[in-house]
């Protein structure tokens, strides 16, 4: 049965066939609903990022969101931090996501402060950036490439610059890992996803989203050069870090 296209995430509803997860047109259409129902405290994390950036960065600083998807983070940040006149750039390799991001930034009259570029974040060259945001994106990069990539971001940051890293994580304690995953599945069920949808999405993400542990993410950031590294948010198997490049 063909379903009416709307903005509610029903990608893994019963009548859909299983396939690996890709950031295509169908995903972009329902992505904002997916974010709110699949990422615990998504909006609150962005609020906390706004507090960090607002306190740490000078007016007119450059902020780059890597894997910006439909621009939800940048739209919220640009609204919360309007008076700081930051320059926001979002980079993503999915044209469907960027179409949606550009459309939304026009709808909210933000096209002067938000810029979106299509490209592979691995190739990023954004010297003099004051903050990089990697919200739930590093987990899609091949694990072996993550540390060299973070090193590159570090070298593109100004002294005192910031890297925000939010990731889904695993625990190396099997019992806790299982129970955190169960907590997360309950979170999704409470938001209207069925058991079958949750299982199918999990399967589709199996070889696409590869989570590391909190310690592994922290040590990757430190090996990249960041000295001050602390989580500022954690909800079971989701964590957000603040990493700061030293001033000298
Ligand atoms: C948010 N940060 O709203 N180059 C560019 N983009 C990429 C690459 C790559 N190599 N790999 C993946 N992406 C967003 C959510 S979603 C998270 C980020 C999720 C992009 C991909 O196209 C997608 O838009 C995004 O990274 C990941 O907070 O879907 O779980």
Tell me the pTM.
0.92
Helix boundaries (H) for the chain: 25-38, 42-56, 72-80, 95-107, 143-156, 174-190, 195-205, 214-223
CB 41 less than 6 A from any atom of ligand 1: no
CATH number at residue 30: 3.40.50.150
- Is there a contact between 150 and 221 (Cβ–Cβ < 8 Å)? yes
- Given a contact cutoff of 8 angstroms between Cβ atoms, the answer to whether 1 and 145 are in contact is no
pLDDT band at residue 32 under the 50/70/90 scheme: confident
Residue 35 near ligand 1, beta carbon < 6 Å:
yes
Return the pLDDT at 164.
98
Q: Are 212 and 219 in contact (CB under 8 A)?
A: no
Is 72 or 30 the better-scoring residue by pLDDT?
Answer: 72
Least confident of 82-96, 139-153, 192-206: 192-206
CA distance 109 to 246: 36
- Does 9 contact ligand 1 (Cβ within 6 A)? no
- Distance from the CA of 23 to the center of ligand 1, in angstroms? 8
CB 169 within 8 A of CB 217: yes
> Please, what is the average pLDDT of the chain?
92
Q: What angle do CA 240, 24, 1 make, to 5 degrees?
A: 115
Q: How confident is the model at residue 2 (pLDDT cuts 50, 70, 90)?
A: very low
What is the number of structural domains in the chain? 1
Residue 144 has pLDDT above 50, yes or no: yes
Pocket lining: 166 vs ligand 1, CB cutoff 6 Å: no
pLDDT above 70 covers a percentage of the chain that reads 94
Which residue, judged by its Cα, is nearest atom 27 of ligand 1? 137
SS3 state of residue 245: coil
The tokens for 62 are 């450059």
Domain with 34 in it: 2-244
Number of CB atoms found within 10 A of residue 163's CB = 25
The helix/strand/coil state of 160 is strand
Q: What is the pLDDT of residues 205-245, one digit of tens each?
A: 888 999 999 999 999 999 999 999 999 999 999 999 999 99
């Amino acid at each position: 049965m063909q379903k009416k296209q709307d903005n509610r995430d029903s990608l893994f509803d019963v009548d859909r066939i299983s396939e690996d997860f890709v950031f295509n047109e169908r995903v972009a259409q329902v992505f904002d609903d997916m974010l709110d129902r699949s990422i615990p405290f998504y909006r609150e994390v962005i609020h906390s990022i706004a507090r960090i950036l607002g306190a740490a960065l000078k007016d007119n600083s450059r902020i780059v969101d890597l894997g910006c998807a439909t621009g939800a983070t940048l739209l919220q940040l640009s609204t919360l931090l309007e008076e700081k006149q930051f320059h926001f750039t979002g980079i993503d390799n999915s044209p469907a996501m960027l179409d949606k991001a550009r459309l939304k930034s026009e709808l909210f009259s933000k096209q002067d402060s938000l810029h979106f570029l299509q490209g592979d974040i691995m190739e990023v060259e954004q010297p003099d950036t004051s903050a990089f945001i990697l919200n739930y994106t590093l987990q899609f990069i091949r694990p072996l490439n993550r540390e060299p990539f973070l090193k590159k971001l570090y070298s593109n940051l100004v002294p005192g610059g910031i890297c925000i890293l939010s990731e889904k994580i695993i625990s190396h304690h099997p019992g806790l890992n299982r129970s955190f995953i169960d907590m997360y599945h309950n979170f999704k069920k409470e938001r209207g996803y069925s058991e079958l949808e949750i299982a199918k999405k999990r399967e589709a993400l199996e070889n696409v989203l590869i989570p590391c542990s909190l310690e592994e993410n922290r040590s990757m950031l430190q090996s990249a050069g960041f000295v001050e590294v602390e989580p500022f948010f954690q909800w079971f198997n989701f964590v957000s870090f603040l990493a700061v490049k030293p001033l000298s």
